Amino acid sequence: MKKYILPTITIAVLLLGFLIGNAVSNKANAQRFYIQNGRLIAEPDSKVEQLLQLMQSAYVDELNMDSITDEVMSEIVKKLDPHSAYIPKKDLELVNSELSSSFSGIGVQFSIQNDTVSIVSVIAGGPCEGVGVLAGDKIVTVNDSAFTGKGITNEKVMHSLRGEKGTQVTIGIKRAGTDEVLSYTITRGDIPVHSVDAKFMIKPDIGFVRVNKFGENTYNEFVQALAELKSQGAQKYIIDLRENSGGYMDQAIKMSNEFLNSGDLIVYAQGRAYPRYEAKANGGGRFKKVPLVVLIDNFSASASEIFSGAMQDNDRATIIGRRSFGKGLVQQQIPFNDGSAIRLTVARYYTPSGRSIQKPYTLGDQEDYDKDLLERYEHGEFYSKDSIHLVDTTKYYTAAGRVVYGGGGIMPDIFVGRDTTLNTPWFNRCVNHAYTYQFAYQYTDKHRAELKKYKDWQSLEKHLLAANWLPEFVEFAKSKGIEPDQAQIAKSKPLITRLINAYIVRNVLGDDGFFPLFERDDEITKTAVEYLTNN
């Protein structure tokens, strides 16, 4: 579920928010009830409000109305489309922080390994760096309470380490080489949230930019990345939106504007109580003529599809990859007085050619909706373009007259299926159980002092290739219950080597090292580079 910033919504939706807001009020109002013939009668309001008021005022035992109200609200919203959502007060800050430009915390990236919080990296300039916390440290206590064991989850860690700016938290650290628990009291501060994972020159004239979401500051980060790559000699660009589930609509519009001519339609949206809204390019874009490729996959959704659709329908970029998710609904976040909120679907959006890319859904049937990607996989769509089935057979036309279709995502101009030639059951089990990731972290932790000597991914990869860690990984997987199969190991060796080396590089150098190494051998990326080289 993602929030979109759009023009002010009409009075009908505001009225709906007001009515629902009344329903969640926890304050008893005795004047709404009266006794008639020995019975308690409620004054005529909505049924939901009447029920909650009756329960609060007349039920035989005292109730936790906050909890009950949250459950009632969630159940009501579940009857709507799959992307409308009720967000309780306790979850709202964390949900909103996903798309914000920053949040307040201690400034670490972590991973839970063996029921222990392990620090993968310390964010430069963050509070933890200032007090001396290091990558590889393990958090074992928080505010003098034990912080290990089966109950440790990502959500619990974030709730414990994040907090209001200026507040303090004390963490106990176990560090390799010492038996004592090191104590650090950290003052929480603003931690930037980045939308651009990577920006690098993949060829002397081709720049690569990966965008992981459309948050508050995505456009600014994006144009800065393009400018930096241009200064390094980029004349052509690859924009990677794979696994980007969307975010703010206005950020996708601003990004699209950089590549389109004045008056080009980017997207339009409309709903039953939502007047048609059109976004058009203003002609001020700085990259209107550069050759462009956009990468998408089955997890590219929402704002990613707005950007991809605008580029495709205006014949501005070549879309490469696999069919996108198919989310063409617009949500508006409406707050309630108690600190909770609803993200209500108020409109559908349409690409410039007039197509809706929303995949089919049944009101209230979230389970069936969630099975769509699994069904696509089982039908072979991830591997073969011929297996793709679009429910909307209406023909739509791009600016140049090319035929495109809606009704279930953006279809790429060039389809690239998953390459399974090196896959084996042994490799798949290792990946599916995340043993590749776990081994990479443990290997990094064990050799951290040596690995830190390398300052670029090329030299670090060369070192790792010479290190020949594969037998060690095979034994690690065996200890987890995956018996070695030498034929399968030999076949999948290039995949194992690429994946684990990339993970180790990320642990040492961050995403700036990970993505250039990982994308170098990616089939979709190689197709994009070949296309831009030849066109």
Tell me how many degrees the CA angle 324-330-335 measures, rounded to the nearest 5.
Answer: 135
Backbone angles phi, psi at 231, to 5 degrees: -70, -20
Instruction: Kindly state the tokens that stand for 210.
Output: 């990966």
All residues at 6 or more sequence positions from 170 whose CB lies less than 8 Å from its CB, including other chains: 141, 142, 143, 144, 183, 184, 185, 186
CB atoms within 10 A of CB 186: 21
Residues known to be catalytic: 302, 313, 327
Q: Closest Cα to residue 80, out of 364, 329, 332, 348?
A: 364
- Grouped pLDDT means (10 residues each) for the chain, 535 residues: 38 36 37 50 66 86 89 90 90 78 84 86 83 88 90 87 91 86 91 90 98 95 98 98 94 98 97 93 96 96 97 98 94 88 92 93 84 80 77 87 91 92 95 92 93 96 96 96 96 96 94 95 97 96
Instruction: Kindly state the tokens that stand for 86.
Output: 């009720």
Instruction: Kindly state the tokens that stand for 102.
Output: 């920053």
Give the pLDDT confidence score for residue 98 in this predicted structure: 73
Instruction: Kindly state the tokens that stand for 386.
Output: 């011929």
Class of domain 196-330+347-419: alpha beta
C-alpha–C-alpha distance, residues 512 and 201, integer Å = 11
Ramachandran bin of 207, using left for φ above 0, alpha for ψ from -120 to 50, beta for the remaining angles: beta
C-alpha to C-alpha distances, 171 to 98, 142, 182, 328, nearest whole angstrom: 24, 5, 8, 44
All residues at 6 or more sequence positions from 348 whose CB lies less than 8 Å from its CB, including other chains: 269, 270, 271, 328, 329, 330, 356, 358
All residues at 6 or more sequence positions from 470 whose CB lies less than 8 Å from its CB, including other chains: 489, 493, 496, 497
C-alpha–C-alpha distance, residues 184 and 199, integer Å = 34
C-alpha–C-alpha distance, residues 222 and 214, integer Å = 10
Are the C-beta atoms of 324 and 304 separated by less than 8 Å? yes
What's the farthest any 2 CA atoms get from each other in the chain? 89
DSSP run (H or E) holding 70:
helix 65-77
Instruction: Kindly state the tokens that stand for 73.
Output: 């609200």
Residue ranges of domains in the chain: 11-97, 102-192, 196-330+347-419, 425-531
Architecture of domain 102-192: Roll (2.30)
Helix then strand then coil, in percent of the chain rounded to 5, is 40, 20, 40
Residue where the block lists tokens 């909505």: 46
Are the C-beta atoms of 410 and 357 separated by less than 8 Å? yes
C-alpha–C-alpha distance, residues 533 and 535, integer Å = 6
Could you list the beta-strand ranges (E) of 106-217: 108-113, 116-122, 138-142, 145-146, 168-174, 181-187, 189-192, 196-203, 206-211
Tell me how many degrees the CA angle 335-339-342 measures, rounded to the nearest 5.
Answer: 35
Pairing of the two strands 318-321 and 403-404: unpaired
DSSP 139: E
CB atoms within 10 A of CB 340: 21
C-alpha–C-alpha distance, residues 369 and 2, integer Å = 17
End-to-end alpha carbon distance in the chain: 37
Question: How buried is 92 (Cβ within 10 angstroms: 0-12 exposed, 13-18 middle, 19+ buried)?
Answer: middle
Give the pLDDT confidence score for residue 440 in this predicted structure: 94
Residue where the block lists tokens 């007060």: 89
3-state class (DSSP) for residue 42:
strand
C-alpha–C-alpha distance, residues 159 and 303, integer Å = 28
The CA radius of gyration of the chain, in Å to the nearest whole number, is 26
Give the pLDDT confidence score for residue 323 in this predicted structure: 93
All residues at 6 or more sequence positions from 188 whose CB lies less than 8 Å from its CB, including other chains: 104, 105, 106, 127, 162, 163, 164, 165, 166, 167, 168, 169
For helices 11-23 and 65-77, angle between their N-to-C axes, nearest 10 degrees: 140
C-alpha–C-alpha distance, residues 453 and 470, integer Å = 22
Are the C-beta atoms of 135 and 160 separated by less than 8 Å? no
DSSP 29: -
Are the C-beta atoms of 13 and 346 separated by less than 8 Å? yes
C-alpha to C-alpha distances, 398 to 39, 214, 264, 298, 390, nearest whole angstrom: 66, 25, 12, 22, 18
Q: Closest Cα to residue 273, out of 14, 532, 91, 458?
A: 14
Alpha helices in 314-387 (DSSP H): 366-370, 372-378
3-state class (DSSP) for residue 392:
coil
